[in-house]
Structure 1
Amino acid sequence: MPQELGSRARELSKPYYDDALPAHDQFHAARVRDVSIRLAADCESEVDSAVLSAAAWLHDIGRPRERTGAIDDHDEWAAAEAAELLETDGVTADRIDAITHCIRAHSIRANSPEPETLEAKLLFDADKLDAAGARGIVRMACIVGERSGSAGEKYAVIDDASVSGADSSDRPDITLLREWGRERLNELYTAPGRRLGDSRRQFMDDFFAQFESEIGVEGER
């Protein structure tokens, strides 16, 4: 049953998110799951919602380990770990292969495989859409915060250096959030994903226009 596989994957994934930071926690997984199912409902072709739901819950279970340096690639690790969990739970080999392909192909990284199935494309789109819109801006800001000051880097600035004149050429600023959002929206695979992406893109354009209007008057500091 579709709901049984998705619900079971949710339970299996929970312990892996205990040490996750906000941008890649169980709530991110839940949003990706909900959006992917929403996109699937708008597809003309048939979607295996059980595979999609299970992949969404499990796609970032390796993020906490990657963040601490315990593993190098959270996609590959999560796919292997998910396969072992699901096999032990009695899931069929074809379903496991479909789920692990979705997990391996969900990232925007250059070394990530292309999503070949509709389920993998929907998971990819849902994951990228969680980096856009209102929630996406907050989530991307969390990622900048997570990385800020680590490994000897300078702290991020909540400003726009091109407008404020601040010396932040070697530090992430608000323009990075805009670039991240646009990059991800430009990579969407499915028509339902692009339609939802258009509305989130419009919100982000309005947000950044408002942000720039709040920077203040020009002059000496």
Structure 2
Amino acid sequence: MGQHDQTVRNAEKLVERAMKGNDASHDAAHAFRVRDLALSLAHEEGLPSPHSMFVVELAALLHDIGDHKYVREHSEEAMMVERFLEEEGLEESLKQKILGIIKGMGFKDELARTEFGKFPLEFGVVQDADRLDAIGAIGIARCFTFGGSRNQALHDPQIHPRLNLSKEQYMKKDEKQTTVNHFHEKLLKLKDMMKTQAGKRRAEKRHNFMQDFLTEFYEEWEGRA
């Protein structure tokens, strides 16, 4: 087993250890699905080298360790990925590529961005993979799992979705929101935010499935179905 293969195995163990206390919307299974999706998208996009695939695999596996929804910023847990990469002895350029992908891929960060220049293909496939896992059938299941873990109401017609969200509004934890509103505030926007052609192709089906689900949900809620 080469050094890169061993680092991937060690990363898998870290994921299982660090994410075991999370609810099922952001558990180890999510990280492993994102890894598999990212590698699949990378193959479709013709990512050029094993070196690039290693960056994609590690960034995808580690992307949610230290997530702000589960740990305090700048806490010991938030620094876990950086410490892991140092302990694995990765060269600085590799380490910075992986950390750069992880730090830049959040929806909240894109809300705060005013310019969208070119991006490395490694970044595009990892971000698209994470966003694909947030939509479609699994996306619906994850959304309601997370809402349930935070005791959110399923739906309240009196609480309207917050459109044109800022990063600060998106991260507000004390504002009363519903799980269904999250579809309008984020999930239905993801199809048009895909970075790669492979990601766009896959997002289409998942997006349509969510729209059909919401149509049925509202009809049932209002007693029309």
Asked if TM exceeds 0.5, the reply is yes
* Corresponding residue to 2:138 among 135, 140, 150: 135
- Counterpart in 2 of 1:191? 197
TM-superposed deviation, 1:6: 2.5
Question: How far apart, in 2, do the equivalents of 1:176 and 1:42 lie?
Answer: 30
**Which residue in 2 is equivalent to 1:174?**
180
Choose from 46, 49, 53 the match for 2:48.
Answer: 46
Identity of aligned residues (%): 27
Secondary structure, aligned partner of 1:23: coil
- The equivalent residue for 2:36 is 34
Q: Assess, with a 3 A threshold, how the Cα gap between structure 1 residues 31 and 214 changes in structure 2: closer, same or farther.
A: same
On the 8 A contact 1:6/1:51 being kept in 2, the answer is no
Choose from 15, 18, 26 the match for 2:17.
15
The range that moved more, 106-115 or 118-127, is 106-115
Q: 1:168 to 1:35 in 2, by over 3 A?
A: same
Contact 1:33 1:56 in 2 (8 A): yes
For residues 100-127 of structure 1, give each alpha carbon's deviation from its aligned partner in whole angstroms, at most 9, with x where no partner exists.
1111112011347978321111111111
Distance 1:99 1:199, change over 3 A: same
C-alpha displacement of 1:45: 4.1
C-alpha distance in structure 1 between counterparts of 2:86 and 2:10, whole Å? 12
Q: Does the aligned pair in 2 maintain the 1:160–1:173 contact within 8 Å?
A: no
In structure 2, relative to structure 1, the CA distance for the partners of 1:106 and 1:68 (3 Å cut) is closer
**Structure 2 Cα separation of the partners of residues 135 and 203 of structure 1:** 11
Q: Report the residue type matching 2:190 in the other structure.
A: R
Describe the SS at the equivalent of 1:22. Answer: coil
Count residues with an aligned counterpart.
201
Distance 1:176 1:25 in 2: 19
Distance 1:69 1:98 in 2: 23
**1:151 matched residue in structure 2:** none
Unaligned 5+ runs, structure 2: 161-175
Instruction: Tell me how large the CA RMSD over aligned residues is.
Output: 2.8
TM-aligned CA deviation for residue 177 of structure 1: 2.4
Q: Which runs of 5+ in 1 are unaligned?
A: 149-154, 162-166
Aligned pairs for 1:1-221 within 5 A: 1=2, 3-46=5-48, 48-63=52-67, 66-67=68-69, 70-71=72-73, 78=78, 80-110=79-109, 111=112, 116-148=119-151, 155-156=152-153, 158-159=154-155, 161=157, 167-169=158-160, 171-217=177-223
Question: Secondary structure in 1 aligned to 2:144?
Answer: helix
Distance (Å, rounded) in 1 between the aligned partners of 2:66 and 2:102: 11
Specify the code of the residue in structure 2 equivalent to 1:39. L
- Partner of 2:167 in structure 1? none
Q: State how far apart, in whole Å, the 1-side matches of 2:103 and 2:57 are.
A: 15
Which one-letter code corresponds to 2:180 in the other structure? I
The structure with higher relative contact order (CA 8 Å, sep 6+) is 2
